[in-house]
Amino acid sequence: MEPFPHHYTVTASGDKAASNITVAASGLAELSTDAPSEFGGPGDQWSPESLLIAAVADCFVLTFRAIAQGSRLQWDTIQCQATGTLDRIDRKPQFTEIQLHITVTPQGDISAERVQRILEKAEEGCLITNSLSAAVSMTTDIQLV
């Protein structure tokens, strides 16, 4: 890992003739985004709202993977379903809550309690949720084989 601080630059571009926005970063595939249907958009493309919640889910899985590796936890699959609640607080829209539902299938003879501790460490260590003011809650489904 490189020393902190890290810097990430993303450019969003649009033009008057089209409703979609192009999001780009050096070395990455461009994304086409638009407003979600709740804000009058077409609802068939990634939106800033869906990208933010996707970043939460993605960060959780990546954090889990790193902690599981360091803890020598063997696992087959993990899925993080993230649901963000957007509300208006003091007349400003903001995400007030993010609910995570985690389904994980560990390998071998391991206790559900140990897997749960690792999932909780991943929740605590996720840099995306640590950067947000929304409350985060987690439910888990540990599928022992």
pLDDT in tens, 40-57: 999 999 999 999 999 999
pTM of the entire predicted model:
0.95
pLDDT tens-digit map of 109-143? 999 999 999 999 999 999 999 999 999 999 999 99
In this structure, the answer to whether residues 64 and 135 fall within a common structural domain is yes
Query: Are 42 and 59 in the same domain?
Result: no
88 lies in the same domain as 113: yes
Q: How far apart are CA 29 and CA 67, in angstroms?
A: 28
**11 alpha-carbon distance from chain centroid:** 20
Residue range(s) defining the domain that contains residue 95: 48-142
- Same structural domain for residues 34 and 88? no
Nearest to 63 by CA among 24, 8, 100, 37: 100
My answer on whether 63 and 113 are in the same domain is yes
Convert the pLDDT of each residue in 102-116 to its tens digit: 999 999 999 999 999
Contact 116, 143 (CB under 8 A): no
- Domain co-membership, 22 together with 67: no
Number of domains in the chain: 2
In a shared domain, residues 68 and 21: no
pLDDT-based confidence at 1, cuts 50/70/90?
A: confident
Same domain, 68 and 131: yes
* Cβ within 8 Å of residue 18, ≥6 positions away: none
| AA identity, residue 96 | T
CATH code of 108's domain = 3.30.300.20
Start-to-end C-alpha separation, the chain: 34
pLDDT digits 0-9 by tens, 47-96: 999 999 999 999 999 999 999 999 999 999 999 999 999 999 999 999 99
Q: Which residues contact 137 (CB under 8 A, 6 or more apart)?
A: 97, 98, 99, 100
What is the rounded distance in angstroms from the CA atom of residue 142 to the CA atom of residue 116? 8
Beta carbons within 8 Å of 76's beta carbon, 6+ residues apart: 105, 106, 107, 145
**Domain co-membership, 53 together with 40:** no
Total residue count of the chain as it appears in this document: 145
Q: Does one domain contain both 55 and 125?
A: yes
- Shared-domain flag, residues 103 and 34: no
Radius of gyration of the chain (CA): 18
Q: From CA 31, how far away is CA 10, in angstroms rounded?
A: 11
42 lies in the same domain as 74: no
